[in-house]
């Protein structure tokens, strides 16, 4: 074994080169360097408190670890082929810098509780970053909603025109959706803040290290894992963050799909800014919504990363197994994908241009059929009968080739004698949305209230 390996005393032959390459993870987990060093600094203080090192050794360890941290931060760290993982690399470099005291740092600690601590710290920071990205997208949607609280457009079910809504109301639907994503991330952070450090390889430590004191140095943690087996075997925090990320990806994909459809020539409800569109290599006229298509496409990666980890974990016995080395690449990929994707989504939404005239042009009389049924209900007709009567009127208008507002009064009175010329006042989309004043409805006054509420909740008055 090499001089700086963390193991190997019982081996008589070195690791085969192909096995070394297959086993090593430094290229992936080097991004945990800052977290690994933070955990080591806390551990050095715990060793001092347990009288396992003296004050001079503690000082040398802290100085050396800060020097290694600076090398990583300034991109000066030189990796060696013998650096099996981030833990090996840090300890190897620490020994080069301060000598013998470095050999005491691993006292009472295993890579098992060390990596669990590092990875939890990373996940907490990553979740907070994603919360910030979600906030920016929410604010962009709120800005659009504010501008278009009274901009009427068709609402859809089954991608068929259903009832009139406002574009502002549509924007706020995604704000609500993203808020649930934000809450899931906050919940995940809360469950991740249980410290595994000091659990050892699996059985705890017998050297008198007081684990509770570690939370004073590592203040991201507010409790200590209470079972040493679970402390090193747990990857729920990774799975939970991957699930939250996958669902964010699904929500972004739904947003993207709407905007792809709405930006098409057939709809023309919105236009994406040139900065978030691309062209065609052969068709000069094309303006493609590639920012949205990538958001839609990358959701598959986010879902796949979740499935990958769950598949890896499903058959693992307690406690640590090398399979768990495969937990980082899916998580890193999901975090990186969402970090940039959410920024692109926020910028694209903020800069898109709504086209109210095209939205209004897509509204026809049949989209007010439910309003007509409601008018029958106000006359005392049971809704099920009203539904059937309006259905017959829609069928009759199609037979005659006219809109509902052009249908002769006699046709209306044939199905409902109590109707008079006031029935034609129903065919006003602005009136229709203005009457949807129930809590959560699409009425412009309700949308404006929700915009004000969201600006307050999101911290932008």
Instruction: Give catalytic residues, as residue numbers.
Output: 158, 280
Angle at the Cα of 4 from the Cα atoms of 120 and 67, rounded to 5 degrees: 60
Angle at the Cα of 397 from the Cα atoms of 395 and 400, rounded to 5 degrees: 110
Question: Which tokens belong to 37?
Answer: 């060093």
Beta bridge partners of 278: 288
Before 319, cis peptide (omega within 30)? yes
DSSP letter string over 192-259? H-EE-TT-TTTT--SS---HHHHHHHSTT--EE-S-HHHHHH--HHHHHHHHHHHHHHHHHHHHHHHH
Task: Please tell me the distance from the alpha carbon of residue 244 to that of residue 239, in angstroms, as a whole number.
Answer: 9
Beta bridge partners of 165: 153
Question: How many CA atoms lie within 13 Å of 25's alpha carbon, on the beta-carbon side?
Answer: 18
Strands 152-157 and 160-166, by their bridges, are antiparallel
Task: Please tell me the distance from the alpha carbon of residue 169 to that of residue 443, in angstroms, as a whole number.
Answer: 8
Task: Please tell me the distance from the alpha carbon of residue 440 to that of residue 83, in angstroms, as a whole number.
Answer: 57
DSSP state of 288: B
Task: Please choose, from the candidates 107, 61, 65, 108, the residue with its C-alpha nearest in 3D space to the C-alpha of residue 86.
Answer: 65
DSSP state of 123: H
Task: Please tell me the distance from the alpha carbon of residue 431 to that of residue 371, in angstroms, as a whole number.
Answer: 10
Task: Please tell me the distance from the alpha carbon of residue 175 to that of residue 346, in angstroms, as a whole number.
Answer: 12
Three-class DSSP category at 306: helix
Task: Please tell me the distance from the alpha carbon of residue 72 to that of residue 62, in angstroms, as a whole number.
Answer: 15
Burial (CB < 10 A; 0-12, 13-18, 19+), residue 255, is buried
Angle at the Cα of 294 from the Cα atoms of 124 and 261, rounded to 5 degrees: 120
């Amino acid at each position: 074994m090499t001089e700086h390996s963390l193991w190997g005393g019982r081996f008589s032959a070195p690791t085969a080169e192909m096995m070394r390459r297959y086993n090593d993870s430094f290229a992936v987990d080097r991004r945990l360097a800052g977290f690994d060093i933070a955990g080591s600094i806390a551990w050095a203080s715990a060793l001092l408190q347990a009288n396992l090192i003296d004050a001079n050794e503690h000082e040398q360890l802290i100085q050396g670890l800060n020097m290694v941290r600076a090398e990583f931060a300034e991109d000066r760290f030189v990796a060696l082929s013998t650096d099996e993982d981030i833990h090996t690399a840090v300890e190897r470099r620490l020994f080069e810098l301060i000598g013998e005291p470095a050999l005491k740092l691993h006292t009472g600690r295993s890579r098992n509780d060390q990596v669990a601590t590092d990875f939890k710290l990373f996940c907490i920071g990553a979740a907070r970053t994603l919360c910030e990205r979600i906030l920016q997208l929410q604010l962009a949607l709120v800005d659009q909603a504010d501008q278009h609280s009274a901009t009427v457009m068709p609402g859809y079910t089954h991608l068929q025109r259903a009832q009139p809504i406002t574009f502002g109301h549509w924007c706020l639907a995604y704000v609500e959706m993203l808020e649930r994503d934000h809450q899931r991330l906050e919940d995940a952070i809360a469950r991740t803040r249980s410290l595994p450090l000091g659990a050892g390889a699996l059985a705890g430590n017998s050297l008198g290290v007081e684990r509770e004191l570690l939370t004073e140095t590592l203040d991201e943690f507010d409790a200590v894992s209470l079972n040493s087996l679970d402390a090193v075997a747990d990857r729920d925090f990774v799975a939970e963050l991957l699930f939250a990320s996958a669902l964010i990806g699904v929500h972004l994909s739904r947003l993207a799909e709407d905007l792809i459809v709405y930006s098409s020539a057939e709809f023309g409800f919105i236009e994406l800014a040139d900065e978030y569109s691309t062209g065609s290599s052969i068709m000069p006229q094309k303006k493609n919504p590639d920012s949205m298509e990538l958001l839609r496409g990358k959701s598959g990666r986010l879902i796949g990363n979740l499935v990958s980890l769950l598949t890896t974990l499903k058959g693992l016995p307690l406690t640590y197994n090398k399979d768990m080395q495969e937990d980082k690449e899916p998580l890193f990929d999901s975090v990186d994908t969402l970090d940039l994707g959410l920024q692109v989504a926020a910028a694209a939404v903020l800069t898109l241009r709504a086209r109210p005239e095209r939205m209004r042009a897509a509204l026809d009389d049949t989209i007010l059929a439910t309003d007509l049924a409601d008018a029958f209900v106000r006359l005392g007709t049971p809704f099920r009968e009203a539904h059937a009567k309006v259905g017959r009127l829609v069928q009759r208008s199609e037979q005659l080739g006219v809109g509902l507002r052009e249908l002769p009064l006699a046709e209306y009175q044939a199905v409902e004698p109590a109707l008079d010329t006031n029935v034609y006042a129903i065919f006003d989309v602005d009136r229709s949305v203005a009457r949807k004043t129930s809590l959560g409805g699409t009425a412009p006054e309700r949308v404006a209230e929700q915009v004000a509420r969201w600006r307050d909740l999101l911290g932008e008055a």
